[in-house]
Amino acid sequence: MLVTIKIPTVLRRFTGDQASVVVEGGDVHEALRDLASRFPELKTHLFDEGALRPFVNVFLNEDNVRDLDEEHGRLKEGDELSIIPAVAGGASDTRILTARELSAEEMSRYNRHIIMPEVGVAGQKKLKAASVLLIGAGGLGSPLAVYLAAAGVGRIGLVDFDTVDFSNLQRQIIHFTSDVGRPKLDSAREKIQAINPHVTVETHYTRLTSENALEILAGYDIVIDGTDNFATRYLVNDACVLLGKPNVYGSIFRFEGQVSVFDAGHGPCYRCLYPEPPPPGMVPSCAEGGVLGILPGTVGALQATEAIKLILGAGKSLRGRLLLFDALAMQFREVRIRKDPACPLCGENPSIRGLIDYDEFCGIGAPEEEGSLVPEISPREVAENRDRLLLIDVREPHEVDIARIGGAVLIPVGGLAGRTQEIDREADVVVYCRSGKRSAKAVRHLLDIGFDRVRNLRGGILAWSDEVDPTVPKY
């Protein structure tokens, strides 16, 4: 029986750099013995007196062979064995190499890079010569900036216009509690320079728009998309395609992340994958849906890895592949994405030849208008007339655990259509949610089905906290 054994990087020096070797054997042990006989140096690394060393694991397809009984250890055609040794990380070889363009301090700082043949002095010089633009200094921008700075990327640009908020600290690790209220760019620049003074930091204190995107992006080798909204995501994609720059894409939501590299000269762009954005309101943002604090760390570190590989020209890039990460299941999956010949941007007959109005393209503005068309009531007016108003809370039950207005009836907006008979048609109804958006939709629905004394609490429970009762927590 012929089977393939995958060889990990650390052992490839014993297999003549082969990443996989075809061997013969009826069961796992015969296959490993065959491998050891072909590459005798490997034998002492894998076996101790005939037994597999405890720090080496061998997987038959997805199962550890230590967990398999004799019957299941038998091999079938097409089976794949993988050797997975324990890897401590770091490096034990402390040789210091010298090179003209890297100072002694830099040689020492980047030693664990330089002693790897895939990086070496030449690779470290490439990192120093490279420039990377991070769109956003938030959840994804934080690990990206930290790791790219530590790795020695010579020039890092940051685009952001926001200030640090308390609710950012749960995941935006480049910002500290003492930074709350400061511009994110000031806070991020300070940390990057504290990590690595050899990095030049360029800050672009602005919202990225169709007017400034080409000019800002043109100055960098690689663009990394750390945005949280569709308008900027399409803007970054389009600008990268028009400028011929690779776009390292990452997105996060609750417990799930996506990573890819869009590089239209060598593969698909974001529009090949998603030609159009979802309608506004269909996909909640992290501000509405939440995000596990560590998730941008995982996804941002993956994006930083892809950026460094692009700079080094090493390994296999995520071009044409979309990596999906599920933190709850702790699973990575990968799907192949192809360049769409009909893509309006990077296809054979492109119809988009310049940047467009991305707010309009993504339908932004419509929900606000919808909200402003329904009758509203101020928090203060509700407080003054509390006794004669019927308050309907259209948020989700877990939000009520965080903050509530006493006496309100909970009917989550998703179930409202089936529960309208619970609402007294003679009452003066006030509907509220967190910020006033969902409740505006609910008010619109109630007006449409004949309720005529319904109003929306302007600004939601957030405004209630600001204007009426500051003991109600904001979230």
Bridge-based pairing of strands 47-48 and 63-64 is unpaired
Q: Which stretch binds Zn ion (CB under 5 A): 228-236, 270-278, 420-428, 435-443?
A: 270-278
Residue 241: CB minimum distance to Zn ion, A: 7
Place of tokens 């080409």: 214
Tell me the closest approach of the beta carbon of residue 246 to Zn ion, in angstroms: 13
Q: Which is nearer to Zn ion, 235 or 345 (CB)?
A: 345
**d(Cα 145, Cα 164) in Å, to the nearest integer?**
16
| Residue 312 is a binding residue for Zn ion (CB under 5 A) | no
Nearer to Zn ion, 242 or 346 (CB): 346
| Window of 151-159, 268-276, 383-391, 427-435 that interacts with Zn ion by CB under 5 A | 268-276
Position with the least CB separation from Zn ion: 343
- In whole angstroms, how close is the CB of 67 to Zn ion at the nearest point? 45
User: In this chain, which stretch among 72-80, 90-98, 177-185, 269-277 interacts with Zn ion, using CB under 5 A?
Assistant: 269-277
| Span of 188-196, 198-206, 340-348, 466-474 interacting with Zn ion by CB under 5 A | 340-348
CB of 275 to Zn ion, least distance (A): 8
**How many chain residues interact with Zn ion (CB under 5 A)?**
6
Closer residue to Zn ion in complex, CB, 235/269:
269
| H/E element, 383 | helix 379-384
Q: Residue 213's closest CA among 235, 231, 242, 245? A: 235
Is position 81 an interface residue for Zn ion (rule: CB under 5 A)? no
* Contacting residue, 156, 224, 272, 463, with Zn ion by CB under 5 A: 272
- The answer to whether 269 contacts Zn ion (rule: CB under 5 A) is yes
Residue of 146, 185, 192, 343 interacting with Zn ion (CB under 5 A): 343
Decide if residue 346 touches Zn ion (CB under 5 A): yes
Min CB(360)–Zn ion separation in Å: 20
Which residues does 432 contact at the CB level (< 8 Å), separation at least 6?
391, 392, 393, 394, 405, 408, 439, 456, 457, 460, 461, 464
Q: DSSP letter for 347, please.
A: S
| Lookup: tokens for 23 | 């061997």
Calculate the alpha carbon distances from 88 to 11, 38, 55 in Å.
14, 27, 11
What is the pairing mode between strands 454-457 and 428-432?
parallel
Whole-number minimum distance, CB 264 to Zn ion, in Å? 6
Q: Which is nearer to Zn ion, 114 or 343 (CB)?
A: 343
Whether 273 contacts 322, CB under 8 Å: yes
* From candidates 175, 271, 319, 441, binder to Zn ion by CB under 5 A: 271
Which residue number, 14 or 230, has a Cβ lying nearer to Zn ion? 230
Which of 213, 196, 195 is closest to 204 using CA atoms?
213
Beta bridge partners of 22: 4
What dihedral do alpha carbons 136, 139, 145, 147 form, nearest 10°? -150
Catalytic positions, please?
286, 433
Q: What angle do CA 403, 393, 421 make, to 5 degrees?
A: 155
Interface with Zn ion (CB under 5 A): 269, 271-272, 343, 345-346
